[in-house]
Amino acid sequence: MDEHEPQKHLRQKHWQANNKEEIFSELRTSDTGLKQEEINNRIQFYGENKLPQGQNTCRCRTNCSRWLSCISLCQW
């Protein structure tokens, strides 16, 4: 098993069905969180936990879109 991939049975069944200790074991963590060394390893493997930047849209377009959506709902 790849050390950076949770075991398959956690993905195959509902995670809510597991107790806390099983989940922590699968994800290789604890109720106190990750140690700094493990954090660094995961960042190096997965990359930083950042969302991609969206496109900038002008306020006029955003406001017009909202207004038109509102009008459409009223007509429906």
**Considering only CA atoms, which of 2, 3, 26 is closest in space to residue 14?**
26
Q: Is the residue at 63 inside a domain?
A: yes
Q: Is the residue at 31 inside a domain?
A: yes
Q: Is the residue at 26 inside a domain?
A: yes
pLDDT of residue 12: 61
pLDDT of residue 1: 46
Range of the domain at 25: 8-75
Q: How many domains does the chain have?
A: 1
Specify the pTM.
0.47
Whole-number Å distance between alpha carbons of 52 and 50:
6
pLDDT of residue 55: 73
pLDDT 10s digits, 22-66: 888 888 889 999 999 999 999 999 899 888 877 776 777 777 777
**Helix (H) / strand (E) containing 68:** helix 59-75
**Considering only CA atoms, which of 11, 12, 10, 13 is closest in space to residue 21?**
10
pLDDT of residue 41: 93
Residue 10 near residue 18 (C-beta atoms within 8 A): yes
Q: Is the residue at 1 inside a domain?
A: no
